[in-house]
Structure formats: C-alpha cells, structure tokens
Amino acid sequence: MAENENDLKITVRKLNLHYGPKHALHDVNIDIRANRVTALIGPSGCGKSTFLRTLNRMNDLIDSARIEGEVKVDGEDIYADGMDTVDLRKRVGMIFQRSNPFPKSIYENVAYGPRIHGMTNKAEMDALVEKSLRQAAIWDEVKDELNKSALALSGGQQQRLCIARALAVEPEVLLMDEPASALDPIATSKIEELIYELKERYTIVIVTHNMQQAARVSNDTAFFYMGRLVEFDATEKIFTKPKEKQTEDYITGRFG
C-alpha cells in the first residue's frame, strides 16, 4: 500500500520471536510509513507490545528472547551484526506504559538524554529542554518549577514529561506502549492531542488497547492476534470494512 518507497520508515519482513519455548511473533511483515501514526491493536498477549519492543531492540534485555527475520529502519537492518543499539535507540525513542521519570528534577529528566550523548553547553541545553517541554505541551505547566522533583507531578504530567524526555534526544521514530492506559480521560485526551501534533515531525507507532483511541489518533492500524499480524490497513478501512473476520469480531467487541 506504500505509494512511494521513500515514504517507508520501517519495514519488517518475516519477523519471528521466541521467548524460550514460546513462539511470541509469527512471520510478521509490515511497512510503517513516515510521519504517520500507526496504531497496533489486539487483545492482551497478542504480541503487539512485544512487536513494538523489537523496533528499538528493547527485547535484547530479555535473555530468553530469540529473534529472526528482518527489521529495517530507513533501509538499514537494525539486527545486522554491526548495528549499535545505542545509536538505534537514539533514533527510535520509546514511551512506556507506566510513566517512568527518573527520581530527579524535571530539568534533569529532560536533560538526561542530551547529556549522555555529550551535550555540555548550558545555554544550548536550556534551549533544548524548553523546546522539548513545549513540544510535549507541558512547558506552561512546569516552566516555573523546573528544579522540582519529577515525581511530584501528576500522572498525566509525568507521562508528558517522559515524552519530552524522549523528544530531547531528537529521535525520528517514537514508539509508544499504551502511553495513556494509566491516565484519566482528561490527561488521556491531552496525550492524544499531543500525538496528533507530533506526527508532523515524527513517525509514531502506538500500542493501544483502546479502539476509540486508535480510531482517533492513527492513520494506519495493524491488528495482531495470537502473535500474528492479521490485518494492516488505513485506519478508516480497518474500522469500517475490515477484510478479515477476526478483525471485525475484535473491533465490534465480540472478543478481547
């Protein structure tokens, strides 16, 4: 469905993943387009989060995980032998299900990434912190208390701070693993608005269990079931006339 090869940000071919004896992902093929929001939906345990974590190699942290197949970001195989996970994760940022700010100040949280990548200039850093916080739509709320502990923020603010923290590294892709699942409706809608704005600049892949959310924020939707990619298409097509029976059953609430 990609009209133009240059549009493709991430291409996945025949991806299989095993956790020990468990076969968690079966032959996944997908093309994720740049500057769009791609939603991954499906019932719990269907492999959508696992798949997300293969895109920045966070599964490397799990000893028992074995991966085969091909994942290319900008045409470069991220599982190739010479690939550096540190560089990869700089380009492919991640937002987690539970907001996980460091027990440091708001400023230090955002400055963490740039600092480990070698930024030392104070003025530059200040500017970057402000820019990231603005992009994450939290600047106005925290600008007067940048030295306050990040843990003092509310859940929704913490999650936006984590987004700002990820943006400060200036990634190209943002992976979001159910970023609003622990938040109240107001905080959720703020995050959704934010995602909508961010897609101008970033390629976003978001895992969600909330189908309205998928329908609201995404351009494309992929439906996962039991470790397989069942259907992948433009969001409106998935939600109005899915090709597969399983997809239809899921989005109409017949299971999951």
Partner 1 sequence: MTRSKGLVGRLVVGFTGACAFLSVAAVVWIMATIIWGGHTHLTWAFISQVPSEGMTEGGVFPAIVGTFFLVVIMSLVGVPVGTITAIYLSEYVGRQSKMAQVIRFAVNTLAGIPAIVFGLFGLGFFVQFSGNSLDKIFYHGALHWAQPNILWASLTMALLTLPVVIVSVEEAIKTVPQDLREASLALGATRWQTIRKVVLPGSMGGILTGAILAVSRGAGEVAPILFTGAAYFLPQLPHRFTDQFMELGYHVFIMTTQSTDVEKTLPIQYATTLVLLLLTFTLNFSAIALRARIRRRRVAA
Partner 2 sequence: MPKKRTEKKTFRLGEFLIERCIQGVALISLLFICLIFVFVFREAFPLFTGQAKEPVAQADVGASETYGEEPGAALTVDHPELEQKQEPFKARHLLAKEWQPVSLNPKYGLLPLLWGSLKVTLVALLLAGPIGIFAALYTSSFAPRWAREGMKPVIEILAGFPSVVIGFFALVILASLLQRFFGFQYRLNAFTGGLAMAFAVIPIIYTVSEDALAAIPKTLTEASLALGATKWETALFVVLPAATPGIFAAVLLGFGRAFGETMIVLMATGNAAILTASLTDPVRTLSATIGAEMAEVVFGDIHYRVLFFIGALLFIISFGLNAIAEFFVRNRLMKRFKGI
Q: Which is nearer to partner 2, 7 or 84 (CB)?
A: 84
Alpha-carbon distance of 205 to 34, in angstroms, equals 10
The amino acid that residue 179 corresponds to is: P
| Interaction partner, residue 126 (partner 1, partner 2, none; CB < 5-8 Å by kind) | none
Q: In sequence order, what are the beta bridge partners of 229?
A: 224
Alpha-carbon distance of 19 to 65, in angstroms, equals 5
Among the residue ranges 27-35, 61-69, 93-101, 199-207, the one whose residues contact partner 2 (CB under 8 A): 61-69
Looking at 2, 7, 22, 116, which residue binds partner 1 (CB under 8 A)? 116
Looking at 7, 27, 76, 87, which residue binds partner 2 (CB under 8 A)? 87
Q: In sequence order, what are the beta bridge partners of 204?
A: 37, 174
CB of 224 to partner 2, least distance (A): 19
Among the residue ranges 10-18, 21-29, 66-74, 87-95, the one whose residues contact partner 1 (CB under 8 A): 87-95
Looking at 13, 18, 26, 216, which residue binds partner 2 (CB under 8 A)? 18
Told to check if 27 binds partner 2 by CB under 8 A, we report no
Residue among 227, 179, 184 at smallest CA distance from 205: 179
Told to check if 82 binds partner 2 by CB under 8 A, we report yes
Alpha-carbon distance of 2 to 159, in angstroms, equals 32
Looking at 24, 39, 41, 162, which residue binds partner 1 (CB under 8 A)? 162
Told to check if 60 binds partner 2 by CB under 8 A, we report yes
CB of 133 to partner 1, least distance (A): 16
Told to check if 66 binds partner 2 by CB under 8 A, we report yes
Contacts of 37 (CB under 8 A, 6+ apart): 195, 196, 199, 204, 205, 206, 217, 218, 219, 220
Told to check if 76 binds partner 2 by CB under 8 A, we report no
Kindly write down the DSSP assignment for every residue of 83-97, as one continuous string.
--HHHHHHHEEEE-S
Told to check if 84 binds partner 2 by CB under 8 A, we report yes
**Helical H segments across the chain, by residue range:** 48-54, 85-91, 106-116, 122-135, 139-142, 155-167, 185-198, 211-217, 235-240, 245-251
Told to check if 58 binds partner 1 by CB under 8 A, we report yes
Residue with tokens 């200039």: 121
Binding site for partner 2 (CB under 8 A): 16, 18, 57, 60, 66-68, 79, 81-87
